[in-house]
Structure 1
Amino acid sequence: MTTEKKIFVLDTNVILHDFNSIFKFAEHDVLIPITVLEELDKFKKGNDLINFHAREFTRELDKLSGDDLFSDGVALGNDRGRLFIETGKAFSEKMKVSFQDNIPDHRILAITEFVNNDNPDRTTILVSKDINLRMKAKSLGIPAEDFKNDQVQDVDNMISLGIQTIYDFSDEKIAELYQGEEGLTEEELNLDYDLTGHRYFILKNNNSSALAHFNPLNKKVQRVEKPSAYGIYPRNAEQTFSIDALLDPNINLIALTGTAGTGKTLLALASALQLSEQFDQIYLARPIVALANKDLGYLPGDAKEKISPYMQPLFDNLAVIKKKFNIHSKQYLYIDELLRDEKLQITPLAYIRGRSLSNAFFIVDEAQNLTPHEIKTIITRAGEGTKMVFTGDIEQIDSPYLDRKSNGLTYLSDKMKDQDIFAHINLIKGERSFLAELASKLL
């Protein structure tokens, strides 16, 4: 039985999301509308990751084609299809009456419609991360789908792995956890699956309960006590597990997910301050996702004034920690000293590029707004002794081309879930205020 070779037409945002995307369609053919090359040309200059992707894709095209023309397509490699570039096409009557504006999206649709009609024996699919463009294509009778290569299909299962509750757990075993440091074996949890990576458990019965951690290094389940971090005390089980992982020297990579007000960033920053003497640098960074798709140039003021509104939530978390201490205390003054000496830096993520990340405690806030490739780029910069923490809410994504399945934070948690240096904790209970938690649930 032979598989039908499909034709996948790629939108510009797919290439800016992953410049290697053309190699990820198996044996099927890939077609790039000439309009996409025109749009990519606008992104070649700049220091952001999308600018890098635009340049790398153009270089890859040049390498693939050599002296050949695209009219017959160029081979994408063994067991892959061919790459074609299709020139502009006139709008059909259906296109003319449907769309009055001659914009890039509509020119891409016109080319896709032509290819679809010109290949009646093959399935043509438009691949775009733009939901609205996909809806327009489907309205014209053209199949369209998201770029699925780096999507996590079972997000809910991935989230639930980090913390699990075991009910009707033995009283005697809970007592053992409280009495001894040796802990329990994996078998004593009586699970129907093997444990991999760091896992946290809430062990319960009618009489008692315990918080526990499975350490993949010694294969032991040990009780988790309620630690504090620079004046911040956990208020629930998830926060307890978070601080435990953040202070654990064997866990170098952590993902903290959860809705606003669950304490993700606050716990990460407090833990960084608690361990500050063990690191040369503390970075607290977040990506800037401008409102209404406007870049920072639309905002008044110099560079520092432009980024200030985006960084303010991070400074707010720092202020919460400082309020735990008297203004004359050594802990309060130490924070000011770290800021003054720039050992603690709160900055846009873009400003970190090019810096050494050796022996650093590096926190990336709002990581759900990063692509999988951006997450990879950040982590691969980690030097010896660096601990990386990514926080975010995968239900609150500001990028128009990412969702709960395709964002970098979800991708990271799924790909790293079985690794001995990684822990993922999903925080559920809001601790900001009763009002904030009620709004999160009801509105």
Structure 2
Amino acid sequence: MGGKRNRVSNRLSGETRRVLKATRFLGVAGWGTIVLGWCGGWVARGFTEPTPPNQDSWRQNDVELAVRDGKIYGRGSTPYYSPPSLSPPEPPTLKLMRYLMNEYLDVWLEILEAKKRGLSGKQIHPIFQKYQDQLDLDFAETVSQWFHSQLDSDEIEKNKDLAGILHDFAIDIQHFPLGSQVNNLEIAIVSYQAVLEFYTRPVYPEYWARTQMNLANTYYKRIKGERSENLEQAIYGYEAALEVLTLRAYPEYWATTQNNLANTYKNRIKGERAENLERAISCYRAALEVRTRSAYPEQWAMTQNNLANAYHDRIKGERAENLERAISYYRAALEVRTRSAYPEQWAMTQNNLANAYHDRIKGERAENLEQAIAGYEAALEVHTRNVYPEQWAMTQMNLAVAYKKRIRGEHAENLERAIFYYEAALEVKTRRAYPED
């Protein structure tokens, strides 16, 4: 897919950037230069999948604070270099921005120290939680500026390690569930984009492709900006990654990217809806060439469920046949997604299967509705109000619709059950919380 990647706009003022630039060249070794002496080079920590997340574990390497001119830069008693006072004094705005930058750098350097201790993923989330109010777009720009200030054309291995750290951090912040999800995703995007300036395709094709994929995952989930454009950026990233992550060279990564690309086409806003769904089905089928039940049972079941969703929504072909295919794929997924092994996924697939039976054209209508009711009630065994309030309310609504249409049983009693489930759903889906619903 053509087009250029969208760049997240910088929010720091020109004055702030001048401060960063001055700090980079006037003392530093920069704002406390950190030499990242990692052993063994950079090893990718894997990929994430939009639905559900799926990531491998990346190896962590040691990070050391630099000793320069007998002083420790970064977290010593004098962590930042301050240029001599000039005449006239700094404007108040410049002083304020310098203070704010140092505050952001304190946060970033603490995160780096955590990396030195080998923390990643959920292990590092407590630090994010501690500073969640400071994890904003100015923090993202500060980290990006820090990264560029540390790059040294004479130290390629150091640069490679820096890129690995920033990429690893982007994955961590991307999956941080607290604070502002808008800002967390923007920080991840800025970080991935900075990494891609070093990990170019000609020099580091594999790392470039992996970063493209993770950037695409972030655009898929992005909240800020136009949803339609974010999905286009995701498609661009996945298709770019597939130019390197081929079936022959990287079969597992290729299958993961195919699945993610399929999810994006299924939800795409631009283009023809019917054609987007055909592309999604094609990509899911491609993923299943690698994701066999015997080799990757969990991923196989996930892709079966996704493929079923696409057939349920499919526009081309016979509607009745599409629904039969959907039911078949849902049932296949449930062979692996048992309640005991994968309770959350089991409940989700039960709900999806119930929807398909509700819409089913073939078979007896009365029996199809009974199957739908049974599936919704099964899902509620896991999707309780306390643990999954949103899913619980959705399933309550689905049950209400099914009982309203139910053929078997007393009509009056069915309507009473429908009213009961509608009212239950409204206990969670309030006007304030869900105005559209």
TM-score over 0.5 (shorter chain): no
Structure number with the higher helix fraction is: 2
Shorter chain as normaliser: what TM range?
under 0.3
Structure number with the higher strand fraction is: 1
Using structure 1 for the length normalisation, give the TM-score.
0.25
Higher relative contact order (CA 8 A, sep 6+): 1
Using structure 2 for the length normalisation, give the TM-score.
0.25
